[in-house]
Every structure is written in C-alpha cells, then in structure tokens.
C-alpha cells in the first residue's frame, strides 16, 4: 500500500506542477501585453447553473451505461476531447500553436492504437493541467472555493448513496477510456495495456484517482496564482496532505471505494485561508 500511495502522490502532483507552470505563462503573457488580469467575480458566475449543467452531463453518462454497443466509443471520444483541449492549451504556452496541435493529435492517435497505463496517465495529466490552469486562472478564488465545497458534498453522495461514481468508473475501464489516474499495485503494471485494467470487481488489480480529485485543487491554486506563486504552492502542499488523509481513511475503511475529494478540498481550502493572511 505504500507503493500505491507513492504512485498516487506522484501522479497527483504531476498535473498540479504542470498547471502552475501554465498559470505562470498565462500571467507572463498578460504582463508582456500590458493587459490587466481579469478574473470572473462571484456576482458574474452562477454556481447553480453550473451545477445543473454538470448534473445533465452526469445524467448523460448514466444513460450511456445502458448503451453497451456505443458507450465504449463515446467514452474514448470524451477522453480524447479532454486530452486534446487541455493538451493544446498546455503545449501552446510553450510552443507555437501550429506545432502544438499536430503534436497533441499524434499523441492521441498513439493512445487509440495502443495505450499503456503510464501513457494514459501522462496524457490525462497534461489535459488536466491545461484545462485546470486556464479555467482556474479566469475565476476568482471565492468561486473555486464554493465549487470545492459543492462538489465535495456531491462526491460523498455519489459514492455512498447513489453509487454512480463506481458504475461510471467501471464502465470506463471496461471500454479502455478512464477519466482518472490509474494506479497499479506494482511498478511493472504501469506497462500494462488499458484492456488489462480491472476496476470494481473481485479481480480488480488497479485503483483510480478521479480527475475531479486532481483538477479542483489545481483550479484553486491557479486562481490564486496572480497573488503569488508561493501562495499557489502552499495550496498544492495542503491538497497533498488531503490526499494523504484520504489514503489513510481508505485503509481504515477496508480499502473500499470512497470519495477522495472531501479531504482534498478541506485541506486545499485551509491552504487558501492561510494565503489570505
């Protein structure tokens, strides 16, 4: 279990660090162009409408579980879209767009052809870094903090009450397109092909850290970045403590599926509150 936590920590930090670099480049670009950094204020953002839109997406995914013939294709297209959109944002902050777009397309094509666990994690981490940084950078920290609280409650309900999270994760794993970081029990299993990944069954040999557990602390650290890189780094450190707490609870509860976001969100918010002083 120590190896699992070590693997999870590394893949959790990977998009966090990349995302902060993207946020830095976004700020540098704004300063070079002498543009004012404008973030959406709470009065301009409707959390209720955002959550309703999220629930509609969730309903779509749930209905998709009933369509055995096409769900695999749709899950793969969804994964490719996330990686393309986020990856293009990430690479565009370092290289010209004319190079970034074909480069990420080649990576996605390779993923479709034959993807191992480590390559899957790499692409998803890059996608999360790009999306999390640009979205977080455009929102005020108060908005992101509110979203963290809201989705922590949802995460708890979805795992323990309606149990839809486990169903979607298992279905995605069966289709070979998991929107989450895949964590094996041993190092050699990072070379395993996605079709070998088993989740939510007696034969499961991998664990999954959901993309939401990773992107939400990144949203907060990116939104705070205009106030200073040290403050963003503090939030990342506290989110890592939240991950550790989640892991300890996971062991205490008998290694059963559990929501990781509440603990991660709690400590991320503690880090954010410390940046306010």
Tell me the pLDDT tens digit for each residue of 237-276: 999 999 999 999 888 887 777 888 999 999 999 999 998 8
Strand partners, 209: 181
H or E segment and range at residue 209:
strand 206-210
Return the DSSP state at 100. H
Q: How far apart are the C-alpha atoms of 195 and 114, rounded to whole Å? A: 10
- Is residue 64 within 8 Å of residue 76, measured between CB atoms? no
Q: Higher pLDDT residue, 85 or 45? A: 85
pTM value is 0.90
Sign of CA dihedral 142, 143, 148, 149: positive
The answer to whether residue 51 sits within a structural domain is: no
- Return the pLDDT at 202: 53
Q: How confident is the model at residue 200 (pLDDT cuts 50, 70, 90)?
A: low
The answer to whether residue 267 sits within a structural domain is: yes
Model confidence at 204: pLDDT above 70: no
The answer to whether residue 137 sits within a structural domain is: yes
Structural domain count, the chain: 1
Domain interval for residue 133: 2-32+70-275
The answer to whether residue 42 sits within a structural domain is: no
- Return the pLDDT at 272: 95
The answer to whether residue 236 sits within a structural domain is: yes
The answer to whether residue 109 sits within a structural domain is: yes
The answer to whether residue 48 sits within a structural domain is: no
The answer to whether residue 56 sits within a structural domain is: no
């Amino acid at each position: 279990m120590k190896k699992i936590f070590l693997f999870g920590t590394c893949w959790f930090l990977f998009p966090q660090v990349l995302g902060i670099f993207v946020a830095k480049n976004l700020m540098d670009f704004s300063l070079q162009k002498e543009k004012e950094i404008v973030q959406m204020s709470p009065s301009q953002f409707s959390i209720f409408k955002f959550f309703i839109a999220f629930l509609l997406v969730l309903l779509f995914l749930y209905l998709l579980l009933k369509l055995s013939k096409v769900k695999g294709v749709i899950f793969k297209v969804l994964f490719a879209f996330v990686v393309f959109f986020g990856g293009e944002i990430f690479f565009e902050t370092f290289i010209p767009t004319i190079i970034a777009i074909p480069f990420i397309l080649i990576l996605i094509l390779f993923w479709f052809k034959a993807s191992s666990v480590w390559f899957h994690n790499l692409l998803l981490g890059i996608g999360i870094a790009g999306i999390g940084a640009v979205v977080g950078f455009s929102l005020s920290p108060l908005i992101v903090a509110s979203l963290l609280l809201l989705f922590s409650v949802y995460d708890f309900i979805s795992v323990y009450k309606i149990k839809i999270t486990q169903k979607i994760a298992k279905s995605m794993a069966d289709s070979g397109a998991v929107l989450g970081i895949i964590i094996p029990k041993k190092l050699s299993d990072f070379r395993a092909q996605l079709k070998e990944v088993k989740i939510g069954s007696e034969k499961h040999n991998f664990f999954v850290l959901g993309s939401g557990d990773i992107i939400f602390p990144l949203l907060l650290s990116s939104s705070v970045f205009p106030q200073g890189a040290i403050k963003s780094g503090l939030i990342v450190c506290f989110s890592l403590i939240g991950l550790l707490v989640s892991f300890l609870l996971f062991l205490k509860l008998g290694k059963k599926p559990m929501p990781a976001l509440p603990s991660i969100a709690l400590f991320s918010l503690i880090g954010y509150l410390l940046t306010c002083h």
